[in-house]
Each structure stands twice: as structure tokens, then as C-alpha cells.
């Protein structure tokens, strides 16, 4: 009987120790997995933003959109942003392979980023880089990566960029090369 009692005590102690040290299977893992899943996914989307007077301020279209509410961002595949000027005409078009739009109206464009002027008499026609941060509603651009700028009769290579698309200012942080074309 004594052996049976010792066996029961050891069995209960072992079961209690197993339950005590067993990894908690609470909802932490499940919640982390849920945060990594998008709240919704949309295909071939277009968003239009209007100003106070009812004119288009900008449009965004993308092949795919994934919205993550808990993480506070929206991810786009192949987005195209069109910004309108004070005359309510399309002024600039920005495109890339990927983009992340944060709640603070900050967009990070990644992979094959291209900014094109849609106005015929702009000095700068195109800006190319691999990553670029756009800040709305200020319509400012910034990055610290390699930049290629193409204009009427010239191109510029450099690193880092700060630009304001509203007033047309552009600052290259580190200049590497400028080539002028003499077309006659």
C-alpha cells in the first residue's frame, strides 16, 4: 500500500509539474499571426481625393491593395499616384512596384520608382530611384538613395533628394554627374 501511495504522489507531482511548466497556449501567438494578416485585400483599386472646392487633389490606383489596421499601414502593388496642380491639372505622376501608405499621409515608394512631370514646359521631366518617401498634403519628396534626374537637354546623377512638387524646388544632396546635350 505504501508503494501505491508513493506512486500516486509521484504521479500527481509529475502531472502538476508538467502543467505548471507547459508553455502557455494563450492567444498571443494567434494575435501576432492575426496582426500579420491584412484586414482586407482589394484588386484593381482607384482612390480619388478632392480638395475643399471639389477639385481633384490626387488620385491613386493600384493592381492590389492590402490594408493592415492594427499595424497602421496599407500596402500597394504597382501603384500610380497622380498629383494635381493649382490649375487643377495633372502635374506629376509617381509610380513604383511597391508602396506602403502610413496613416500620417506618408507614402514610401519602393522598387523602380519613377516620378514624371505631366506638364510640357517643366525643366525636370523625370526622376528615377529605388526608394522614395512622399509626404502629403505638402507634396514633398525625400530619399537618401541613388537618383537619376532627366530634364530638357540634360541628365543628373546623384545621391539623396529633397523636392517640393508644389513650388517646383529640388535639392540633390550629393551630386555625382551632370551631362548636357547640345541638340541643334
pLDDT exceeds cutoff 80 at 3: no
Residue 88 belongs to domain with CATH number: 2.60.450.10
* 150 occurs within a structural domain: no
* 19 occurs within a structural domain: no
pLDDT tens by residue, 121-131: 888 899 999 99
* 101 occurs within a structural domain: yes
Number of structural domains, the chain?
1
* CB proximity list for 8: less than 8 A, separation 6 or greater: none
* 86 occurs within a structural domain: yes
pLDDT tens by residue, 62-74: 999 999 988 889 9
Give the CA angle between residues 82, 83, 85 to the nearest 5°: 140
Q: Which domain holds residue 65?
A: 28-144
Q: Which residue has the higher pLDDT, 36 or 144?
A: 144
Nine cell digits for residue 156: 543628373
Q: How many CB atoms lie within 10 A of CB 4?
A: 8
Nine cell digits for residue 86: 493649382
What phi and psi values does residue 51 have, to the nearest 5 degrees? -85, -175
- What's the rounded Cα separation, in Å, for the pair 94 and 152? 19
Amino acid at each position: 500500500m505504501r508503494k501505491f501511495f508513493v506512486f500516486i504522489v509521484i504521479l500527481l507531482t509529475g502531472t502538476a509539474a508538467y502543467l505548471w511548466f507547459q508553455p502557455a497556449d494563450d492567444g498571443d501567438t494567434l494575435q501576432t499571426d492575426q496582426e500579420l494578416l491584412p484586414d482586407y485585400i482589394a484588386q484593381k483599386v482607384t482612390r480619388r481625393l478632392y480638395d475643399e472646392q471639389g477639385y481633384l487633389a490626387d488620385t491613386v490606383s493600384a493592381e492590389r491593395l492590402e490594408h493592415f489596421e492594427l499595424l497602421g499601414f496599407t500596402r500597394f502593388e504597382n501603384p500610380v499616384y497622380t498629383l494635381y496642380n493649382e490649375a487643377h491639372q495633372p502635374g506629376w505622376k509617381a509610380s513604383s512596384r511597391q508602396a506602403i501608405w502610413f496613416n500620417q499621409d506618408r507614402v514610401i515608394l519602393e522598387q523602380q520608382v519613377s516620378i514624371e512631370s505631366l506638364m510640357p514646359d517643366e525643366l525636370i521631366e523625370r526622376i528615377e530611384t529605388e526608394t522614395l518617401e512622399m509626404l502629403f498634403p505638402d507634396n514633398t519628396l525625400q530619399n537618401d538613395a541613388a537618383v537619376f534626374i532627366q530634364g530638357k537637354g540634360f541628365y543628373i546623377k546623384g545621391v539623396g533628394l529633397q523636392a517640393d512638387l508644389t513650388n517646383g524646388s529640388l535639392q540633390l544632396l550629393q551630386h555625382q554627374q551632370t551631362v548636357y546635350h547640345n541638340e541643334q
